[in-house]
Structure 1
């Protein structure tokens, strides 16, 4: 008797479910399309709705030029998350976008985290993951299911007490729901401590991405994280005022040479409006336009680039490796998240 095939893996995006096989191009593994980290009134650390047309135009251009298929949006609770705005950007650009849940580092923790136990925090995350992020739109109230728990933040080599509670809660929520955890390691520091806390709750390192490791010039730390099974995020590509891309390339090549290509992630972490191309910034496309050509020149072939920019982030998000890209003629509508599709 023929057994039915299992359903194909599906990603939850801000515009609905997206079958994994439709993600045929690069993925930006750690970005912000809408956020508000302003605490001074100066307004630089903001990507508001007034910037959304510019954001959508950038993504649409990258879709046309490079086949950009997906943006993993990491703006969580307390960071100015605006899911309806994300949906508008996704529909306008034709690029799929996922949403996140969780809490950033301690400075941005919301009042709901104060004095609450790990179990209570985990319950809040599980409820939002299973019920969806409640959003008010022009047509009523909708719910969007997040695809990642992140970016869960800490600063320094050791998380603070509140940050440790949030990390542990994130791990428990991940175990309960199957979502991965992506972290913010301030200036790249504290990744091993984050991994220890998350894995200490029973979360497999393969479901964890340690963030901002391109800001840390410690190849041995990167190798140790990857050897443990965690993903190592080189996700601030183009932010030359923090670390030069030449150093990022050296660090990435060291990780690849150590045999950990299947644990590398790449992105630009656009986190303020001044980074947009319309404001003379490097934009979301810096990775694709500038950094990947340098990686190619250093010897990376297209199969390796596909692994790092598509297969790795999809494996993190779903636990499923989509396998090598198989070029085939595809109607443009099939690739467009604005076109309703059955999973």
Structure 2
């Protein structure tokens, strides 16, 4: 068992990430161990058992950091392998074949991550740029498909600003991937219901995983889309998370913190008419089915 089915799961998070060199912002280096550990202990008390940590190599992944957090907090963390989006790729993405890239992913899934005792459990977050799906990004997706077929591990994607999800799903369909083993990330950054309905109809999971990022898209509209999906009986293909990536997102640094999803967002869903069983479907059942 890779994932604990008894508690809530955050499907798309970062507990250690460093995009500061590319973004030229120190805030994009999330590495405050004690503050993150405090928040994870709080999550454990709030009923969160699992976090899917989608930071891969060259995003600042730190398996030893995560290993310590697991031991200190008791929260189960699943780590990831893959490559992010163009602009954050190492030279090997351009220089190696999809098979060679896949071999690297397979090694992290089957052998382990660096000097830690951990292995990757998820292929992710592999992504596409805003309004485009570049040839190098498609090479990474091809490598992800190879690794998925070799290991059976699920694929978690990144959409930049909720664009190119249809193209991602079409790519997986073309490569004969079982979409029940795929989750499409960042579906909640614009009014996108038609695209979300299409993706669910193809059989994949969709993530409302930027909850609390109201400067991008207000939570009220996320709730409205979730209510509409509830009315259609489609929440069995939806998962929730916050995608915390910055120091300023942490509660001790003035941000909403990881607990916002449990303490603020879920109560608002209940008020909007989404029942406890539906919350459990999104926060427990669906992540267990995909990541087990």
State the TM-score, normalizing by the size of structure 2: 0.96
**Does residue 56 in structure 1 map to residue 37 in structure 2?**
yes
Q: Distance in 1 between matches of 2:6 and 2:212?
A: 24
Is the CA contact 1:222–1:255 (under 8 Å) kept in the aligned structure 2?
no
Segments of 5+ residues of structure 1 without an aligned counterpart are: 1-9, 12-19, 136-141, 319-343
**Is 2:153 the partner of 1:170?**
no
Label 1:183 to 1:40 Cα distance change in 2 as closer, same or farther (>3 A): closer
- Matched position secondary structure for 2:95: coil
> For the aligned residues, what is the CA RMSD?
1.2
Q: Residue 47 of structure 1 corresponds to which residue in structure 2?
A: 30
Distance, in Å, in 1 between the alignment partners of 2:103 and 2:117 is: 17
Q: Is the 8 A contact 1:157 1:191 kept in 2?
A: no
| 3-state SS of paired residue (1:134) | coil
1:156 to partner: Cα distance: 2.8
In structure 2, the gaps of 5 or more residues are none
Counterparts of residues 35-114 of structure 1 (less than 5 Å):
35-38=17-20, 39-48=22-31, 51-64=32-45, 66-114=46-94
Aligned residue among 234, 246, 260 for 1:260:
234
Distance in 1, Cα, partners of 2:29 & 2:254: 16
Q: Is the 8 A contact 1:237 1:245 kept in 2?
A: yes
Residue 101 of structure 2 aligns to a residue whose secondary structure is: helix
1:150-169 matched pairs, under 5 angstroms: 150-169=124-143
Shift of 1:282: 0.7
Q: Does 1:231 align with 2:211?
A: no
Q: Cα gap change, 1:40/1:214 in structure 2, threshold over 3 Å: closer, same or farther?
A: closer
CA contact 1:131–1:143 (8 Å) conserved in 2: no
Runs of 4+ in structure 1 deviating by more than 4 angstroms, as ranges, are none
Give distance in 2, aligned partners of 1:278 and 1:219: 34
**Structure 1: distance between partners of 2:179 and 2:23:** 37
- Counterpart of 2:101 in structure 1 is 121
Question: Does structure 1 residue 283 correspond to structure 2 residue 265?
Answer: no
Per-residue deviation, residues 2-35 of structure 1 (Å, max 9, x unmatched): xxxxxxxx10xxxxxxxx5x43111111000001
User: For residues 200 and 250 of structure 1, do their structure 2 counterparts lie closer, same or farther at Cα, with a shift above 3 Å needed?
Assistant: same
Pairwise CA distance, 1:216: 2.6
Q: Higher helix fraction: Structure 1 or Structure 2?
A: 2
Measure the CA separation in 2 of the matches of 1:43 and 1:204: 39
Q: Quick check: which has more Rg, 1 or 2?
A: 1
1:28·1:266 contact (CA, 8 Å) conserved in 2? Answer: yes
8 Å contact 2:67–2:118 — kept in the other structure? no
Question: Where do 1:136-215 residues align within 5 Å?
Answer: 142-215=116-189
Question: Following TM superposition, by how much is the alpha carbon of 1:198 offset from its aligned partner in structure 2, in angstroms?
Answer: 2.1
> Residue 217 of structure 2: SS of its match in structure 1?
coil
Using the size of structure 1 for normalisation, the TM-score is 0.82
Q: CA deviation at 1:153?
A: 1.2
Q: Is the 8 A contact 1:53 1:89 kept in 2?
A: no
Number of residue pairs matched? 291
